[in-house]
Amino acid sequence: MSYWFKDRYSPHTVLDIKIKKTLFKGASAYQNIEILESHDFGRMLVLDEIVNVTEKDEFIYHEMMVHVPLFTHPNPKTVLVIGGGDGGIVRELSKHPQIKRIDLVEIDSMVVEKCKRFLPRLSVGFKDSRLKVYYDDGSQFLKNKENFYDIIIVDSPDPIGAGRSLFQKQFYYYCLGALKKDGLLTAQSETPTFKKEFKIMKSMHKKLNGIFPIVKFFTAYVPSYAPGIWCFVFCSKKYDPLLDFQNKRYERLALKNSYYNADIHRASLALPNFLRDEFSNH
Amino acid sequence: MSYWFKDRYSPHTVLDIKIKKTLFKGASAYQNIEILESHDFGRMLVLDEIVNVTEKDEFIYHEMMVHVPLFTHPNPKTVLVIGGGDGGIVRELSKHPQIKRIDLVEIDSMVVEKCKRFLPRLSVGFKDSRLKVYYDDGSQFLKNKENFYDIIIVDSPDPIGAGRSLFQKQFYYYCLGALKKDGLLTAQSETPTFKKEFKIMKSMHKKLNGIFPIVKFFTAYVPSYAPGIWCFVFCSKKYDPLLDFQNKRYERLALKNSYYNADIHRASLALPNFLRDEFSNH
């Protein structure tokens, strides 16, 4: 039955998205899960009434989350994905032949199961033979890992419900420990457009800034997430996303991307004054 | 009285903005004009039920429309603004001391009058002593100008109603004629996020591509205009916005901007693959 889904950006701004059909609606042990078919955004995964991913623009988010760190690290062999149950992050990782091992830790097996059924363009990622999937809490999983990963990608929902622990200082320390001495990490970091999300962004920056030597925001346009800038945080022990950009490997691989390219890599790190003045990209 | 204003992006996607108060509502000879006070976007100018400008994010649009061309031209002395009745474009032009003359052609005097009253942060631009305001149709005004302006800035609404003529091929030819032999032009050029606007963008590109030697899109985040990328078109007879970027003048002027800086200038010209493949930025 057709209806309007309401994506509540704030108490005073709401995006109405016309839905053609509900493909799945249910609750796991962790959250409410819906898969909706919309007119403008294609199929959408909705977790606890927040848009998690849409077929229309997921490529922007996933390409930026993956290729910015992968083309910064000179030799990425082991990659950990926290969250990412839709498969989109792994699909992009699959484009990098030098990776030897991909671990994915998703707390909610129902997300994986439903995405495999209803979002095949994303869940195609699960076919990668280098992938091992663990159903566990990200923090719990990381506790026992030391000096193991080249790259960690934190594909978290907003810091409510199932995703809350992935925004805590303890979690970032676990990441630091699990990364090799030249390891790096990316995470989605909300938007400055609305007050609540900007507060989260500032809080993430404050925590990470005290832990990693290099902390920078990079940005992209993700229409279904928020009007305005969508931000990602890049944290690194050694490599800088501009100075260490692996241009030659980028050119050699000649990826079939829809968003990310070498110019976009560099451009995504340019911050407008109102962000540059708030956060020093050091 | 408080209510929800509906910004209809498409038949299937609508942004609801909570309004505290209607400050003005009336009709000119050309369009319906409203000035609304919102919670999240401050005061908004609404023309024919489309958001034209908001206090929250107008700085992004105006800084990009002005400083990208102004810091590309090596010696901008005469500037023409088509539209721009809110004063925001002129406010940004005022930051450039080398300009000798600013002409502004706005069809609708009621827009200027109401913005002067209700949007003082924008209409402060009208105080610039180099400014002459003409109430006329942009095309009519340009007919009689030849080899006169260094820069033309087309601050048009969407191509419906009062703004329609500013998207026609004849208008672009008038601009070409009114510009000096090394002149250049910028115009807002909609968004690729929704089909209708992307069609306008493609049509603009096709027309301009046959007229100007250099035609490039540049982008910015303007939350109240559309989710995703907002695009601007840069058309030039000689100067290239990357190769001819006037970095020294930019540094000397040390503008008090909230969005535009030298990194943003360069970054705004990097297009994601889905746009780069559609339009060659030549």
Q: Would the CB atoms of B274 and A260 count as touching at under 8 Å?
A: no
* Residue A281 maps to a domain: no
Could you tell me if B160 and B214 lie in one domain?
A: yes
Residue B22 has pLDDT above 90, yes or no: yes
Cα nearest neighbour of A226 on chain B: B227
Q: Is B249 exposed, middle or buried (0-12, 13-18, 19+ CB in 10 A)?
A: middle
Cα nearest neighbour of B267 on chain A: A267
Place of tokens 């700085």: B59
Could you tell me if B48 and B66 lie in one domain?
A: no
Could you tell me if B10 and B123 lie in one domain?
A: no
Confidence at residue B15, expressed as pLDDT on a 0 to 100 scale: 94
* Residue A123 maps to a domain: yes
Q: What is the ipTM of this complex?
A: 0.94
Q: Would the CB atoms of B273 and A263 count as touching at under 8 Å?
A: no
Q: Taking CB atoms and an 8 Å cutoff, what residues of chain B touch A15?
A: 13-16, 227
Q: Would the CB atoms of B261 and A274 count as touching at under 8 Å?
A: no
Measure the CA dihedral A82/A88/A92/A94, to 10°. 80
**Beta-sheet pairing, A78-83 with A3-10:** unpaired
Domain count, chain B: 2
* Residue B282 maps to a domain: no
- Res. B93 pLDDT band, cuts 50 70 90: very high
pLDDT mean over B62-88:
98
Residues 6+ positions from B243 with CB-CB distance below 8 Å: none
Q: How many CB atoms lie within 10 A of CB A281?
A: 18
pLDDT mean over A218-243:
94
Q: What is the distance of C-alpha B31 from the center of its chain?
A: 19
Q: How far is B42 from chain A (nearest CA, A)?
A: 11
Could you tell me if B40 and B166 lie in one domain?
A: no
Q: Would the CB atoms of A274 and B258 count as touching at under 8 Å?
A: yes
Residue A227 has pLDDT above 90, yes or no: no
Q: Are A42 and A55 in contact (CB under 8 A)?
A: yes
What average pLDDT is seen over chain B?
A: 95
pLDDT mean over B100-119:
97
* Residue B193 maps to a domain: yes
Residues 6+ positions from B148 with CB-CB distance below 8 Å: B78, B80, B178, B179, B180
Could you tell me if B67 and B205 lie in one domain?
A: yes
DSSP state of A57: T
Residues 6+ positions from B204 with CB-CB distance below 8 Å: B167, B187, B189, B190, B233
Q: Taking CB atoms and an 8 Å cutoff, what residues of chain A touch B193?
A: 223
Q: How many CB atoms lie within 10 A of CB B243?
A: 8
Confidence at residue B102, expressed as pLDDT on a 0 to 100 scale: 98
Cα nearest neighbour of A60 on chain B: B272
Three-state DSSP state, A31: coil
Please give the structure tokens belonging to residue A82: 């926290």
Q: Taking CB atoms and an 8 Å cutoff, what residues of chain A touch B227?
A: 15, 223-224, 226-227
Confidence at residue A125, expressed as pLDDT on a 0 to 100 scale: 93
Q: Taking CB atoms and an 8 Å cutoff, what residues of chain B touch A8?
A: none
Please give the radius of gyration of chain B, using alpha carbons only, rounded to the nearest integer: 18
Q: How far is A196 from chain B (nearest CA, A)?
A: 12
Could you tell me if B30 and B87 lie in one domain?
A: no
- Res. A113 pLDDT band, cuts 50 70 90: very high
Please give the structure tokens belonging to residue A200: 């989260």
Question: Which candidate in A263, A271, A279 is best for mutational testing of the B interface (most B CBs within 10 A)?
Answer: A263
Cα nearest neighbour of B60 on chain A: A272
Three-state DSSP state, A130: coil
Confidence at residue A160, expressed as pLDDT on a 0 to 100 scale: 73
Residue type at B108 in one-letter notation: D
* Residue A62 maps to a domain: yes
CATH code where residue A48 lies: 2.30.140.10
Could you tell me if B247 and B126 lie in one domain?
A: yes
* Residue A171 maps to a domain: yes
- Of A34, A53, A72, at which residue does a domain stop? A53
Cα nearest neighbour of B38 on chain A: A12
pLDDT mean over B52-67:
97
pLDDT mean over B252-257:
96
- Res. B120 pLDDT band, cuts 50 70 90: very high
Which domain, by its residues, includes B16?
3-54
Greatest mean pLDDT among A65-69, B47-51, B221-225, B276-280: A65-69
DSSP string, B60-103: HHHHHHHHHHHTTSSS--EEEEEE-TTSHHHHHHTT-TT--EEE
Q: Would the CB atoms of A276 and B260 count as touching at under 8 Å?
A: no
Helices (H) and strands (E) in chain A, counts: 10, 12
Q: Would the CB atoms of B17 and A12 count as touching at under 8 Å?
A: yes
pLDDT mean over A222-240:
93
This prediction has a pTM of 0.95
Q: Taking CB atoms and an 8 Å cutoff, what residues of chain A touch B9?
A: 40
- Res. B158 pLDDT band, cuts 50 70 90: confident
Sign of the Cα pseudo-torsion (A260, A266, A267, A270, in order): positive
Confidence at residue B130, expressed as pLDDT on a 0 to 100 scale: 98
Confidence at residue B282, expressed as pLDDT on a 0 to 100 scale: 54
Q: Would the CB atoms of A12 and B40 count as touching at under 8 Å?
A: yes
Residue A126 has pLDDT above 60, yes or no: yes
Residue type at A38 in one-letter notation: S
Three-state DSSP state, A84: coil
Please give the structure tokens belonging to residue A72: 């910064």
Percent above pLDDT 70 for chain B = 99
CB pairs under 8 A between A and B: 125
What average pLDDT is seen over chain A?
A: 95
- Of B15, B37, B54, at which residue does a domain stop? B54
Question: Which candidate in A15, A37, A56, A221 is best for mutational testing of the B interface (most B CBs within 10 A)?
Answer: A221
Could you tell me if A83 and A176 lie in one domain?
A: yes
In angstroms, the CA A244 to CA A177 distance is: 22
Q: Would the CB atoms of A271 and B259 count as touching at under 8 Å?
A: no
Give the model confidence (pLDDT) of A150-179 as tens digits.
999 999 887 877 678 888 999 999 999 999
Q: Taking CB atoms and an 8 Å cutoff, what residues of chain A touch B229?
A: 221
By Cβ distance, the residue of B16, B224, B266 closest to A16 is B16
Q: Which residues of B12-32 are buried (b: 16+ CB within 10 A; e: fewer)?
A: bbbbbbbbeeebbeeebebbe
Cα nearest neighbour of A16 on chain B: B14
pLDDT mean over A219-224:
92
Q: Are B31 and B17 in contact (CB under 8 A)?
A: no
φ, ψ for residue B116, nearest 5 deg: -60, -35
By Cβ distance, the residue of A16, A60, A267 closest to B270 is A267
pLDDT mean over B208-223:
95
* Residue B281 maps to a domain: no
Could you tell me if A160 and A223 lie in one domain?
A: yes
Confidence at residue A281, expressed as pLDDT on a 0 to 100 scale: 58
Angle (CA) A40-A42-A48 rounded to 5° is 100
Q: Would the CB atoms of A260 and B272 count as touching at under 8 Å?
A: yes
* Residue A112 maps to a domain: yes
- Of A53, A73, A89, at which residue does a domain stop? A53
Could you tell me if A189 and A253 lie in one domain?
A: yes
Please give the structure tokens belonging to residue A124: 């195609």
By Cβ distance, the residue of B219, B227, B276 closest to A227 is B227
Confidence at residue B165, expressed as pLDDT on a 0 to 100 scale: 82
Residue A282 has pLDDT above 80, yes or no: no
- Res. B227 pLDDT band, cuts 50 70 90: confident
Question: Which sequence positions of B are flagged as catalytic?
Answer: 155
CATH code where residue B143 lies: 3.40.50.150
Could you tell me if B117 and B208 lie in one domain?
A: yes
Residues 6+ positions from A179 with CB-CB distance below 8 Å: A147, A148, A149, A150, A151, A152, A185, A237
Q: Taking CB atoms and an 8 Å cutoff, what residues of chain B touch A274?
A: 258-259
Could you tell me if A148 and A265 lie in one domain?
A: yes
Residue B163 has pLDDT above 80, yes or no: no
